[in-house]
Amino acid sequence: MAQSSQAIWTDVEHIRVQAPLIHNITNFVVMNNTANALLALGASPAMVHAPEEVEEFVAISSALVVNIGTLDSTFVAGMKLAMQRAKALGKPVVFDPVGVGATTFRNQVSQELLTLAAPDVIRGNASEIMALAGLNAQTKGVDSLFGSDAAIDAAKRLSSVWSCVVVVSGAVDYIIQGERVAAIANGHPLMAKVTGMGCTATALTGAFAAVNTDYFQAATHAMAVMGIAGELAAEQKSAPGSLQVNFLDALHELTAATITDRLQLTQS
Ligand SMILES: Nc1ncnc2c1ncn2[C@@H]1O[C@H](COP(=O)(O)OP(=O)(O)OP(=O)(O)O)[C@@H](O)[C@H]1O
Ligand SMILES: Cc1ncsc1CCO
Ligand SMILES: [Mg+2]
């Protein structure tokens, strides 16, 4: 078994054995999908966003996932408290800047969160990563208007400004930390036709970061597993409704052999 496939499988086994508790402050659209994806992978999800309880909850969790998809000011207050506490406790923080670039509120909140408590991993589509890096990228709500390769320079800049791992998702997923770059060519175009597959990628990254403190590896492994499970699901039936369900089954049934057979990872 190739070294990279083995390393991915080791993380999956650790997630399945440890079932790390993943604290999610996420959007109303994807709460159910991402909770089910974390469970199917082997982690233990909880969606907890009230400012009154997030600090206590993050303290018992193994990773924090923050997603700005359906922002409002109460969510923002919870995000700030949770991110600061997670940083103080040394817990991994993964950030999904859904729709950043579309409105002033999203832009302001994203910059405030990054400044207050820089995350360990940022995952977004190309438009989001370009907007977050300060490029005047065009956005179309929560979907990208660009291919992921258009955002590689922006991702490098973000990675250096916030000293974090940056993931740009798309047909090819790029994982960037300083000069380290990994590219994952797994996945299926139909994944973009199911809402929240990007949010799911971010949530799974939280689970991998809970078991692997090399967050570049954790993010790379999460994107590889996303892509492979997406391919398997699309082969069952090439339609969005079925893909959403078959994706969960593929995560649950994932084996070391499947990862070895399918992994399309290049690193530089
Ligand atoms: N054309 C494609 N080919 C292969 N995989 C794809 C393709 N488009 C998206 N994916 C995969 O789908 C997942 C979601 O990526 P995408 O870039 O669509 O996220 P997103 O725009 O943030 O989604 P959302 O906001 O709905 O959560 C990733 O795992 C990515 O690799
Ligand atoms: C559709 C949608 N709108 C706000 S968040 C979200 C989920 C995909 O990002
Ligand atoms: Mg997204």
143 band by pLDDT with thresholds 50, 70 and 90: confident
Is there an atom of ligand 2 within 6 Å of 124 CB? no
Positive or negative, the CA dihedral 172, 173, 179, 180 is negative
Averaged pLDDT score across all residues of the chain:
97
Distances (CA, A) of 124 to 40, 96, 205, 231: 22, 6, 12, 20
Phi/psi of residue 125, each to 5°? -80, 175
* Å from CA of 65 to ligand 3 middle: 13
In this predicted structure, what is the pLDDT of residue 2? 85
Q: What value does the mean pLDDT take over residues 27-48?
A: 98
* Structural domains of the chain in order of their starting residue, each with its CATH number: 3-267 (3.40.1190.20)
Q: What value does the mean pLDDT take over residues 163-190?
A: 97
* Å from CA of 233 to ligand 1 middle: 14
Q: Is the pLDDT of residue 103 over 80?
A: yes
Is there an atom of ligand 2 within 6 Å of 199 CB? yes
In this predicted structure, what is the pLDDT of residue 1? 64
Token pair 């969960």 is at which residue? 248
268 band by pLDDT with thresholds 50, 70 and 90: confident
Say if CB 245 and CB 35 are below 8 A apart.
Answer: no
Binding site per annotation, positions for substrate: 47, 196
Picking from 194, 180, 120, 183, the residue whose alpha carbon sits closest to that of residue 149 is: 183
Angle formed by the axes of helices 3-18 and 31-41, to 10°? 110
Q: Is the pLDDT of residue 91 over 80?
A: yes
Q: Is the pLDDT of residue 224 over 90?
A: yes
124 band by pLDDT with thresholds 50, 70 and 90: very high
| Minimum CA distance residue for ligand 1 atom 16 | 198
In this predicted structure, what is the pLDDT of residue 135? 81
In this predicted structure, what is the pLDDT of residue 140? 74
Q: What value does the mean pLDDT take over residues 76-103?
A: 98
Quote the pTM value. Answer: 0.98
Output 1 or 21, whichever has higher pLDDT: 21
